[in-house]
Structure 1
């Protein structure tokens, strides 16, 4: 149950957030996706919480057949608009509107499932990540990236509720047998602060391969 202190990241929240300005993200793919997926053979990919579409479009540009899912219809319309502004030559992205806290993706249907910075309360996040894992095909890859709890000590804009954070080891423990851990670490990177200054932050990065 949510209390008055727990943020509620529902459709109205995200529609309002994306409605604040024409673009709220950089338009560049997330750095850990680039780091971890560049060596993968293209296949089918599910980008959950795809937002304005930068990750999905980067994957499509590398030959992946991508399904991009988000709770915000505003974000999805913007993602489709960005895709329309690109040159032809990449597989078209399938944009889908779903509440990820309720939606179950098809089982073992994707060679890559990627979830970038999905910070939800534990009671929602754990079953969510379990469903993402079930969507990975045999020998496929699950990539989950989040802000490290250590970022709360930086000047970066981060959620203040500790229950919204997870570690890579949390994902390892959640998945259990049937998964080969390829990466499970806190990875430092550089980000831009509110005033444009460079900040040292870190990401919790989990990359696993389904073997069972």
Structure 2
């Protein structure tokens, strides 16, 4: 989803989103992370746009050493508390970055980003390319993005362009000899509106392994 640019600064927008409400997300890991990463051998992981930390905590509970990154200090504080409560606080480190302007250092066995989409400014292509560069040889890049508005969304709240399976692969520009696409799929899942209207939403998922060839 590429949104019409907003004059509001991204850091201000997301900090207000978390600061001005209680817990925003469910506290459960994203289902497509569980599906795609359950069989991977634990190593080091980078969770970009980690929010309140559910994915990072799930990875840490399975033996990964995780770096969780988000733009919101409030979200990161909640994530750290979640990790401590889950008994994995020593396996996760947290870094605040405004992705597109700064990016964590190092390479990782898994770089995962779910729903790196925003109604305010976000250099999505740049960040996804940086994510690919941060994957170690033999490691995995996992990207999940919304493919459209939920079925119950009769009137979109803002103008947006949603990425396609082939479009993201094309924009990443990963060399065929050095990368293998293991998953490139559109997935439909149940989705319930804030008012309780049942429907569905479609997501695109890419799991790409760096072969080092």
* TM-score after normalising by structure 2: 0.87
Question: Corresponding residue for 2:140?
Answer: 141
- Note the C-alpha offset of 1:193: 1.3
Larger displacement relative to structure 2 (6-15 or 121-130): 121-130
Tell me whether 1:44 sits opposite 2:44 in the alignment.
Answer: yes
Question: Corresponding residue for 2:168?
Answer: 171
> Is the 1:65–1:93 contact (alpha carbons within 8 Å) kept by the matching residues of 2?
yes
Give SS of 1:126's match. helix
Give SS of 1:27's match. coil
Q: Tell me, in whole angstroms, the C-alpha distance in 1 between the residues paired with 2:16 and 2:78.
A: 14
Structure 2's unaligned 5+ residue stretches are none
- Note the C-alpha offset of 1:123: 7.6
| CA offsets 1:155-207 (integer angstroms, 9 cap, x no match) | 289763323x2122223222331210011121111122112233211101111
> Is the 2:27–2:52 contact (alpha carbons within 8 Å) kept by the matching residues of 1?
yes
> Is the 2:150–2:191 contact (alpha carbons within 8 Å) kept by the matching residues of 1?
no
- Note the C-alpha offset of 1:87: 3.3
Q: Tell me, in whole angstroms, the C-alpha distance in 1 between the residues paired with 2:207 and 2:156.
A: 23
Written as runs of structure 1 = structure 2, the 5 A alignment for 1:142-157 is: 142-149=141-148, 151=149, 153-155=151-153
> Is the 2:116–2:145 contact (alpha carbons within 8 Å) kept by the matching residues of 1?
yes
Structure 1's unaligned 5+ residue stretches are none
The count of aligned residue pairs is 205
Question: Corresponding residue for 1:191?
Answer: 191
Written as runs of structure 1 = structure 2, the 5 A alignment for 1:70-85 is: 70-85=70-85
- Note the C-alpha offset of 1:126: 1.0
| CA offsets 1:105-162 (integer angstroms, 9 cap, x no match) | 335x10000010011589811111100000000111001101112x265428976332
CA RMSD between the two structures: 2.4
- Note the C-alpha offset of 1:9: 6.1
More RCO (CA 8 Å, sep 6+): 2
Question: Corresponding residue for 1:33?
Answer: 33
> Is the 2:57–2:86 contact (alpha carbons within 8 Å) kept by the matching residues of 1?
no
Question: Corresponding residue for 1:119?
Answer: 117
CA separation of 1:123 and 1:53: change in aligned 2, threshold 3 A: closer
Q: Tell me, in whole angstroms, the C-alpha distance in 2 between the residues paired with 1:211 and 1:116.
A: 22
Q: Tell me, in whole angstroms, the C-alpha distance in 2 between the residues paired with 1:10 and 1:23.
A: 19
